[in-house]
Amino acid sequence: MQEISDKRFVITGGSGLIGTRVAQTLLERGAAHVTLLDNLSLSALTHLDDLISDDRVTFVQADILDRESLTEAFDGADGVFAIAAFLVIPMSRDVRLGLNVNINGMMNVIEAARAASVGKVVFASSISVYGAAIDGLVSESSPFSSTDISPTFALYALSKLIGEQLGALYAASGGPEFSTVRFATVYGERQHERGLNALQIVKAYKAIQMGERPVIVGSGDDGHDFIYVGDAAEGMVRTMEVGRTGAAYNIATGRSLTTREAVEAVIRITGTDLRPRFVPDERGAAAPTLRESLHLDVSAAKTDLDWEAAVGIEEGIGMMISWLDRVE
């Protein structure tokens, strides 16, 4: 068990969607200090004033490919949240760098944590590790399937699986304790533009703002598990506290929602009469077509972490829209 109150933590990828919310959650739990570590290649320090102004928060611009910088940043830390990574869209643009970051960068994080005597690392993985294995209830023991998925998506998923196994390997050979969270589709405040599925929610709202019909890519019948970033961050912090070493946890709502239903939620919240229009799906990096069939087993998170998602889709989208209105 890793206490949060009065402890020190480092978050790689600390300026992003999930990293900033993990930091906020840690501070609310009484953490003594939080270091946000990011190379700012995929994000920026904009909209972070509320965090950086806290005396308990330090920002360090560093790259997880630089192990020496990591070891220095991890010095004195009780725990590390390993979030920095290439997502599917950036990886589709630079596969070599994406694999280097996701695999060698993750190895650097673990080795630096061991060198700095960090107690525990929690790794941000993804439900992409199941690939096309989406029939029935998807639990942490479901295998990866490469059937009918794009090469880029497969490479991203496999890089996450390698990261999980690197952590387990080092934990078994004297390294820091290591647990994994497998995030579903995370959305919310500070939403980035690299998420394949959550981005459709943002684009729908921006279209409505401009008086245009929201666009749905494909049929809109693809199923996803949309989880609000506050719930996702709480799940990751709970994993730091009580997650079992070597265990992986689905951090999701356990409920399937189609893209069409998510866009319809945006339409209801905004009160617009505009109806969606549909365009062909030409995304080369797209995830498997799930057609309302994604059902993630979240029982392990409930049992081990005493965690479950609390925010519904309309409430979560409403909070994201309020944030977008404030910053634009």
Highest mean pLDDT among 56-65, 147-156, 194-203, 293-302: 56-65
List Cα–Cα distances, 239 to 81, 301, 317, in angstroms: 10, 9, 25
Provide CB contacts within 8 A for 192, sequence distance 6+. 16, 17, 42, 43
CB atoms under 10 Å from CB of 79, counted, come to 26
List Cα–Cα distances, 258 to 129, 224, 225, 249, 254, in angstroms: 20, 6, 8, 23, 13
pLDDT band, very low/low/confident/very high, at 194 (cuts 50, 70, 90): low
pLDDT at 50: 84
For residue 32, which amino acid is it?
A: A
What residue ranges in the chain does DSSP mark as E strands?
A: 8-12, 33-38, 57-61, 79-82, 120-126, 137-138, 177-183, 185-187, 215-217, 223-224, 226-228, 248-251, 257-258, 277-279, 295-296
DSSP result, 93-106: H-HHHHHIIIIIIH
Asked if 216 and 278 touch (Cβ cutoff 8 Å), the reply is yes
pLDDT in tens, 238-290: 999 999 999 999 999 999 899 999 999 999 999 999 999 999 877 655 555 55
Q: Which residue has the tokens 């009780």?
A: 78
Alpha carbon distance 183, 89 (integer Å) = 17
pLDDT band, very low/low/confident/very high, at 191 (cuts 50, 70, 90): confident
Q: Which one-letter DSSP state was computed for residue 126?
A: E
CB atoms under 10 Å from CB of 200, counted, come to 25
pLDDT band, very low/low/confident/very high, at 291 (cuts 50, 70, 90): very low
List Cα–Cα distances, 76 to 10, 115, 116, 120, 179, in angstroms: 10, 11, 7, 12, 20
DSSP result, 130-193: GBT--SSEE-TTPPPB-TT--HHHHHHHHHHHHHHHHHHHHHHTT--EEEEEEE-EEE-TT--S
pLDDT at 143: 93
In three-state secondary structure terms, 9 is strand
Q: Which of 211, 217, 180 is nearest to 195 (CA)?
A: 217
Backbone angles phi, psi at 9, to 5 degrees: -135, 150
CB atoms under 10 Å from CB of 116, counted, come to 18
The strand pair at 33-38 and 8-12 is best described as parallel
pLDDT in tens, 114-161: 999 999 999 999 999 999 877 778 999 999 998 888 899 999 999 999
Task: Sheet with 248-251: list strands edge to edge.
Answer: 57-61, 33-38, 8-12, 79-82, 120-126, 177-183, 248-251
